[in-house]
Homo-oligomer: A and B are copies of this chain.
Amino acid sequence: MILNIAVLPGDGIGPEVTRQAVKILKAVGETYNHTFNFHEEIIGAVAIDKFGNPLPDKTIELCLKSDAVLFGAIGDPKYDNDPTAKVRPEQGLLKLRKSLGLYANIRPIKAYPTLLEKSPLKKDRIEGVDFIIFRELTGGIYFGEKILSDDGSYASDLCEYSEIEIERIAHLAFKTARKRKKKVTLVDKANVLETSRLWRKITTHIAKSYPDIQLDFLFIDNAAMQLILNPGQFDVILTENMFGDIISDEGSVIGGSIGLLASASIGDENALFEPIHGSYPQAKNKDIANPIASILSAAMLLEHFKLYEEAKAVTKAIERSLELNIVTPDLNVESKYGTKKVGNFIADYIANSDDINY
């Protein structure tokens, strides 16, 4: 397979973790005979510094003509802590998602056996947890009409959804469930909200095309409880924008390390892959940033192009690094391994499937 991949390292630790993800993709390309072409552009604070614009046209153009985008992280204290700043690094990512028509945010949550002790949940609750959240990304109350009355004493936000917005992400969720435990849970508030009832009606209709998939429903308030009480019950969670924001953040902490979580943002023509952690400027250039979330985002990229065996090789290598405690200091304070060495181990393991040198 030939893939043209736009690489946007961004700010802070973005460049060093993305470099490891590229290294891993190169190892996969060589081992499995694919041609992955990488082209790099700037985004975020570095782009503001250079062009006064967090998303230069050249960056958009590169992404539009690429098959996928590998994204690092964005944000710099120089802009984040300045309330008068009109141009902010984050605007670059929001505008990029819009320019690429990315309507589904996909967030896998997995409890790694070697990290159970780091979870805030007791072991019996978190053991074996492995689910994936599909969050609608372009509709709902975050994007509806906002009103503030002239006298400033009344405000409103409109939550809207249309059939097409629900259908396209629902199909993605059902297709993914097919490759997993064959269960989709729609999280909504259909006992109260009209938009939730539309989600339920359309999703129920779509489910008929996937007779092998079980469709469940859960109200958002109950889902927020179930994620703590029994997260092992979930396989694929499908939900609207704001509910997805809330439960994907809640879900991100139950596994015990945010340094192991990646996400994908998918549209009909393009897809972007990124770690969920931020730019962590304090750790920049210290060779201590955990590259695993970025490497996992590269594995999601491989899966997106149906390179399942290749993606599996990457996740297997990551699991082996965790087992052998070849990890950065965030996972083991006494670790002698840095960002690069963890990346090297994973790349070597993909190429050779052995760990005799470690």
From 132 to 167 in chain A, residues with beta carbon under 8 angstroms from any chain B beta carbon are: 141-142, 144, 146-148, 152-163
Known A153-B162, A156-B159; contact A221-B195, beta-carbon cutoff 8 A: no
For the complex formed, measure the closest distance between the CB of A224 and the CB atoms of chain B, giving whole angstroms: 4
Rounded to whole angstroms, the CA-CA distance of A155 and B72 in the bound complex is: 36
From 180 to 207 in chain A, residues with beta carbon under 8 angstroms from any chain B beta carbon are: 189, 192-195, 197-198, 201
Q: Is A247 an interface residue (CB 8 A)?
A: yes
Q: Is A18 an interface residue (CB 8 A)?
A: no
Known A228-B254, A247-B224, A250-B224; contact A144-B156, beta-carbon cutoff 8 A: yes
Pick the most buried of A227, A249, A254: most chain B CB atoms within 10 A of its CB: A249
Q: Given the complex, which residues of B lie within 8 Å of A227, measured CB to CB?
A: 250
Q: Given the complex, which residues of B lie within 8 Å of A119, measured CB to CB?
A: 122
Q: Is A225 an interface residue (CB 8 A)?
A: yes
Q: Identify A156's interface contact among B158, B189, B254, CB under 8 A.
A: B158
For the complex formed, measure the closest distance between the CB of A232 and the CB atoms of chain B, giving whole angstroms: 12
Q: Given the complex, which residues of B lie within 8 Å of A41, measured CB to CB?
A: none
Rounded to whole angstroms, the CA-CA distance of A172 and B222 in the bound complex is: 27
Q: Contacts A122-B122, A228-B228 given; 19 further ones with Cβ under 8 A?
A: A119-B122, A120-B125, A120-B228, A120-B229, A121-B121, A141-B159, A141-B192, A152-B201, A154-B160, A155-B198, A156-B158, A156-B160, A157-B195, A221-B245, A221-B246, A221-B249, A222-B249, A225-B250, A228-B254
Question: Which residues of A approach B to under 8 Å, CB–CB?
Answer: 119-122, 125, 141-142, 144, 146-148, 152-163, 189, 192-195, 197-198, 201, 220-222, 224-225, 227-229, 242, 245-250, 252-254
24 residue pairs of the A-B complex, CB under 8 angstroms, read A120-B121, A120-B228, A120-B229, A121-B122, A141-B159, A146-B193, A146-B194, A148-B197, A153-B163, A154-B160, A154-B198, A155-B195, A156-B158, A156-B160, A156-B195, A157-B158, A157-B195, A159-B159, A224-B249, A224-B250, A225-B249, A225-B250, A227-B250, A228-B250
